[in-house]
Structure 1
Amino acid sequence: MVGYSKIISATVNINPLSQPHPLSLRTKNSHSLLFRRQCKVLRRDSICTGTTTVYTDDDIHSLLQILPHDVRNKLLCDSKRAQLLEVTLDLGRPPQACYYGDSGRRDIRKTEVLMEELEYAQNAIGEFGGDNRAGIAGTLHRISAIRNKNGDVIGLTCRVGRAFGEQIDMVRDLLEYGKSILFLGRPGVGKTTVMRAISRVLSDELLKRVVIVDTSNEIGGDGDIPHPAIGSARRLQVPGPSTQHHVMIEAVENHMPEVIIVDEISTKAEVRACRTIAQRGVMLIGSAHGKRLQNIMKNPALSDLIGGLEAVIVSDKEARIRNSKKSILERKAAPTFPFLIEMRERDYWVAHRTDRSVDELLNGKKPLVEVRRRDKQFKVVIERWKPQD
């Protein structure tokens, strides 16, 4: 058995790896193949990371059209436009912009946002859904509203949606095993972007029947025609977050998918739907909010995703062997998601074999994980059999 201190690093390129994947569910003679793919784009902007330029599907002009004209013109001339993450318009405050890599927000102008400017944006956007979100047809952008107690819109968060062409190489090898994967991360770390890239690779390159359960049209974009970034995957729109679990079951029963992709699993009903889908042999790609695997273990609504926990009573002899109390927690079932990936940052991920990591944590040990990150040349480096920090 490989010790905790041993770390194997691998740089991702177009050549097959010479060693079996440590997280693999296949036999030890299997080999994984990692590819770097470039996403099809309609309009190109670039994000520079180190010495490498990553092209993205942006169409930011559609989003800027809803903004006040002076804000729009300033952002169009901004040298950091390709790193723009979101624009916020709050009544009585200057409009602000947030960029990738920046810790805070910066004022776009000194004058405050007027109600007339918010009304102009609302007229350009159209109706908001029950979750106070709206989109722009044919794009991946998302606009969220803040309302006062009377229901009037007094603030807007305009999020730039992009399809990153290089995001998939962080996880391409795991997709080929055909096992379900859960992505875990804080808001804004890029979970939805990964869902989008995975749907394209599974449907177009691995030729799977993929169905996306798309709440608020975040994965496939607004409008009846899905955005090209999801490839040939089919998309089921969800009327509201409260009905997401119903649409998940509908996807399995009506459309014969091999893969179902669902973003932001958050309720017990959605967790039960995930378990039902997994029991029918369908591959699941899902995401949930949280920083670490331990957050899911401690969350009563989500813990069944990793097998669920139950209290058991052990004998005195077993307690002495374990050096534990007689009442302990154990995993009660196989995980719905055999793989779990903690997205610590956009370019720093920690991959778990879920069952092994949960058992190790319950026994008070540090699980062996796989760290996936990008170096300064934007290449993926894999550190294997590393104890979780």
Structure 2
Amino acid sequence: MIPHISNARIDVYLIKTATDAQSASSHIPATCPTIALKVEGALDRRAGGVDVVQIAVPAASKKAKPVVFLFDYAGAASDAHRPSLTKSLQSILDQCDVVVHDGRADTDALLHQLGVHLHPVYETQTLFAEWHALTKTAIAVQAAVDAQAAPAKYHLSDAQQVKLFAAMQWISTPTRTRPGLNIILLACGLPENPLKKQFHDLVSKAVTGPNDRKTYWQLHPNAVELAECAACDVDQLVPAANAMVERIGELSKWLVRARSWLHVAERLQNKTWSLGQNLPKYAPVHARFDDDSKLVWRFALSEDGESEVASTGSDEQVAEFAERTKAEVDQLFSLLPENVCAVVAAEFPDAESELNEVILDLGRRPLLRFFGTSKPAAELTQLPPVTMEDLEAIFEGRKWSSDRRGGIDGMLHRISWISDRDDNVVGLTIRVGRACPPGYGVGQMLQDLVASGKSILILGKPGSGKTHTLRDLCARLSEAGNNVMVVDTSNEVGGPGNIPHFSLHRARRMQVKRRDRQFEVLLEAVQNHTPDVVVIDEISDAREVEAARSVVTRIQDDVVTLAGDPVSSTGGDEKAKAMGGRKTVTQRAADATFTTVVELLSRTEVRVFHDVNRTVDDLLTFPKRVPWVERRWLPDPSGAPKGFFWVALEPFDEVQADLVV
């Protein structure tokens, strides 16, 4: 008689002997095409690491219960019985399709420890990722179908949306590709493993030691609960796989039908731009600004290319910018050693537009860095190492700020230097500065933000175009009649010298003599010159943040921000009950200094957080809410204006959210 555990949910049989194994094989009906499998133990390639192999046979009817066989290698009657367990296990796997959950380690352990070959048909995490991806697409297509007033047969019914979409709405990690078992079961409407959380940490700790590890049955004194936990890990895998396959099929079939209608009906669609309506989730749409700088959008049509909306800046202005920028780049190249200039001209014809930095380090060969990550840095191996004479030819006679930065008067290039212990130059970083032609760059997608009087923080990695974007916004705001004052931290916005670079148009500029006293210059700008807009190139310490807070209340607009620090506060029992048992909660200490954050993802793409306070609160609340943010990008990789750009409303996923918190 096989040892047997039974409860309201499952029947569990422990397989410890050759007779048990033979009986288990005979209990699996020939009409059962699919079973589920999981392995407990040290899932690596060491001998004797497999403790338990769970095989689940789904319920034969709604009134029946699933049956789980636990092939107990750790508790086998003797070593002589283990080969019989393995033989019966292989026989079962050969006659059925198999469902696994995150089965990579299970498959590897079975093969290398027991010699059992497993070819799973369904892997639940893969199915879940496919379902989630289709859900995102379907939500976007459904929005397009709704907006275009398609016939009812092309819409998903409310019941279908609940079945296919609702399961994804509560998941706090909308982009997760490896969800846990209980998340998948909950999404499918199936009973979870109630013991999973209790035993998860025990199982994780058991496999860490190479020689003194505990077997599965030594993790807890209650062997019945251990057996039930192992059984509940597999008893719902087949129903879950079936449910996800059904949803994937239903979504795929509907998507083909809905997309076909949208494609055929495009020419009949209304091309009216929507104003004041919420952006559809997930669906990329065309956007532009109306005469009042309000964002308007519409679903994209396949024939859309150049829009009817005129771009900012005349051809003459763009040509003038291009000519003057070329002259400035040529002058910067003239500072470089002659052999470097010759190689750049011969081997890098696009350097004028793509080169970002030239690195000259004593005793090393010159290095070129380009914009973005698609083009790797290029070491000029055909040239000799940089000499002290090469460095001093550029360094000597030039004015340097307290943060070791310099440049060329009237131009936007930045030259930074590295010293040895005796303050001798041993390295130079020469960054190529370029003016943004009128209407070009990501600034054309931020018109609604700057026109609304919102305070903006621009974030981005080095070289992502932060200063480039600031310069463009200064020009746009000043041309619109605003009194714009730039607090130029390192003379990068307006360039070295007393006359600001021509690309700032009518914006005024205050230079910062000492970096550690920038906050005083910021306050002076507001007190003495009554600007409508203050633009700050860099903000870094508490004094500058406090100065920015003071400035915000006195001006119309500001183009930098910093969010309030989170603090911990303690609530009472009633609040703890509402917070899932937690009494300590992280919250904002104060309102955000400014209102909007623009993250530069590339030279043509940004992410916009419209309400910093709400975003931070969403991340700090319990349970955590995933904020929705706008991603905007230009259709032309060069950043040239097309009269429209793309916008998509997307979730800010948990990995990014945790980084922000």
After TM superposition, the score normalised by the length of structure 1 is 0.82
Matched with 1:310 is 567
Q: How many angstroms does 1:56 deviate by?
A: 6.1
1:308 to 1:282, Cα distance in 2 relative to 1, 3 A: farther
Matched with 1:91 is 362
Question: Whole-Å Cα distance in 2 between the matches of residues 229 and 121 of structure 1?
Answer: 25
Q: Which protein has the larger Cα radius of gyration, Structure 1 or Structure 2?
A: 2
Which range moved further: 143-152 or 320-329?
Answer: 320-329
Code of the residue aligned with 1:208 in structure 2: it is N
1:359 to 1:35, Cα distance in 2 relative to 1, 3 A: farther
Structure showing greater relative contact order (alpha-carbon pairs closer than 8 Å, 6 or more residues apart): 1
Please state if 1:192 is matched with 2:479.
no
Matched with 1:80 is 350
SS of the aligned residue for 1:164 comes to coil
Which of the numbers 351, 355, 368 marks the counterpart of 2:628?
A: 368
1:241 to 1:265, Cα distance in 2 relative to 1, 3 A: same
1:19 to 1:214, Cα distance in 2 relative to 1, 3 A: closer
Code of the residue aligned with 2:458 in structure 1: it is F
Q: How many angstroms does 1:18 deviate by?
A: 12
1:251 to 1:21, Cα distance in 2 relative to 1, 3 A: farther
Matched with 1:146 is 418
The answer to whether the 8 Å contact 1:58/1:162 transfers is no
1:148 to 1:324, Cα distance in 2 relative to 1, 3 A: farther
Which of the numbers 445, 449, 466 marks the counterpart of 1:170?
A: 445
Gaps of 5+ in 1: 23-33, 46-54, 288-304
Q: How many angstroms does 1:212 deviate by?
A: 0.3
Which range moved further: 72-81 or 83-92?
Answer: 72-81
Q: How many angstroms does 1:72 deviate by?
A: 1.9
Code of the residue aligned with 1:274 in structure 2: it is A
Q: How many angstroms does 1:245 deviate by?
A: 0.7
Which range moved further: 69-78 or 144-153?
Answer: 69-78
Which of the numbers 598, 603, 613 marks the counterpart of 1:355?
A: 613
Matched with 2:406 is 134
The answer to whether the 8 Å contact 2:478/2:506 transfers is yes
Code of the residue aligned with 2:542 in structure 1: it is K
The answer to whether the 8 Å contact 2:294/2:448 transfers is no
Matched with 1:100 is 371
- The Cα offsets for residues 273-306 of structure 1, whole Å up to 9 and x where unpaired, read as 110111224421027xxxxxxxxxxxxxxxxx22
The answer to whether the 8 Å contact 1:85/1:160 transfers is yes
SS of the aligned residue for 1:98 comes to strand
Structure 1 vs Structure 2 CA RMSD: 2.7
Which of the numbers 499, 509, 516 marks the counterpart of 1:225?
A: 499
Q: How many angstroms does 1:62 deviate by?
A: 1.7
Q: How many angstroms does 1:251 deviate by?
A: 0.4
Q: How many angstroms does 1:58 deviate by?
A: 6.6
The answer to whether the 8 Å contact 1:183/1:342 transfers is yes
The answer to whether the 8 Å contact 2:290/2:296 transfers is no
Q: How many angstroms does 1:376 deviate by?
A: 5.5
Matched with 1:114 is 387
Question: Whole-Å Cα distance in 2 between the matches of residues 20 and 134 of structure 1?
Answer: 40
Question: Whole-Å Cα distance in 2 between the matches of residues 220 and 122 of structure 1?
Answer: 21
Code of the residue aligned with 1:333 in structure 2: it is A
Matched with 1:280 is 554
Question: Whole-Å Cα distance in 2 between the matches of residues 15 and 335 of structure 1?
Answer: 29
Q: How many angstroms does 1:12 deviate by?
A: 3.8
Question: Whole-Å Cα distance in 2 between the matches of residues 85 and 270 of structure 1?
Answer: 29
The answer to whether the 8 Å contact 1:309/1:332 transfers is yes
Matched with 1:341 is 598
Question: Whole-Å Cα distance in 2 between the matches of residues 157 and 35 of structure 1?
Answer: 39
The answer to whether the 8 Å contact 2:534/2:557 transfers is yes
Which range moved further: 332-341 or 246-255?
Answer: 332-341
1:38 to 1:72, Cα distance in 2 relative to 1, 3 A: farther
Question: Whole-Å Cα distance in 1 between the matches of residues 401 and 636 of structure 2?
Answer: 41
Question: Whole-Å Cα distance in 2 between the matches of residues 179 and 15 of structure 1?
Answer: 18
What is the aligned residue count?
A: 348
The percentage of aligned residue pairs carrying the same residue is: 34
Q: How many angstroms does 1:37 deviate by?
A: 2.6
The answer to whether the 8 Å contact 1:203/1:231 transfers is yes
1:57 to 1:333, Cα distance in 2 relative to 1, 3 A: farther
The answer to whether the 8 Å contact 1:58/1:161 transfers is no
**Counterpart mapping for 1:45-60 below 5 A:** 59-60=328-329
Question: Whole-Å Cα distance in 2 between the matches of residues 163 and 277 of structure 1?
Answer: 28
Matched with 1:268 is 542
After TM superposition, the score normalised by the length of structure 2 is 0.49
Q: How many angstroms does 1:43 deviate by?
A: 5.1
- The Cα offsets for residues 84-117 of structure 1, whole Å up to 9 and x where unpaired, read as 1111111111111111234532123421111111
Code of the residue aligned with 2:625 in structure 1: it is K
1:155 to 1:372, Cα distance in 2 relative to 1, 3 A: same
Question: Whole-Å Cα distance in 2 between the matches of residues 356 and 207 of structure 1?
Answer: 32
Question: Whole-Å Cα distance in 1 between the matches of residues 295 and 325 of structure 2?
Answer: 32
- The Cα offsets for residues 170-195 of structure 1, whole Å up to 9 and x where unpaired, read as 21221111110011112111111111
1:329 to 1:36, Cα distance in 2 relative to 1, 3 A: farther
1:347 to 1:320, Cα distance in 2 relative to 1, 3 A: farther
Code of the residue aligned with 1:213 in structure 2: it is V
1:118 to 1:190, Cα distance in 2 relative to 1, 3 A: same
Please state if 1:65 is matched with 2:334.
yes
The answer to whether the 8 Å contact 1:58/1:163 transfers is no
Which of the numbers 577, 583, 592 marks the counterpart of 1:320?
A: 577
Code of the residue aligned with 1:64 in structure 2: it is F
The answer to whether the 8 Å contact 1:57/1:164 transfers is no
Question: Whole-Å Cα distance in 2 between the matches of residues 349 and 141 of structure 1?
Answer: 24
Question: Whole-Å Cα distance in 2 between the matches of residues 35 and 184 of structure 1?
Answer: 29
Structure with the higher fraction of residues in strand conformation:
1
Structure with the higher fraction of residues in helix conformation:
2
Please state if 1:250 is matched with 2:524.
yes
Question: Whole-Å Cα distance in 2 between the matches of residues 57 and 107 of structure 1?
Answer: 24
Matched with 2:648 is 383
Q: How many angstroms does 1:44 deviate by?
A: 1.6
Please state if 1:44 is matched with 2:322.
yes
Gaps of 5+ in 2: 1-142, 144-165, 170-279, 298-308, 654-661
Code of the residue aligned with 2:394 in structure 1: it is A
- The Cα offsets for residues 151-206 of structure 1, whole Å up to 9 and x where unpaired, read as 000111100011223111121221111110011112111111111000000011x2
SS of the aligned residue for 1:144 comes to strand
1:381 to 1:324, Cα distance in 2 relative to 1, 3 A: farther
- The Cα offsets for residues 336-377 of structure 1, whole Å up to 9 and x where unpaired, read as 211111222222321112111011011122111111123456
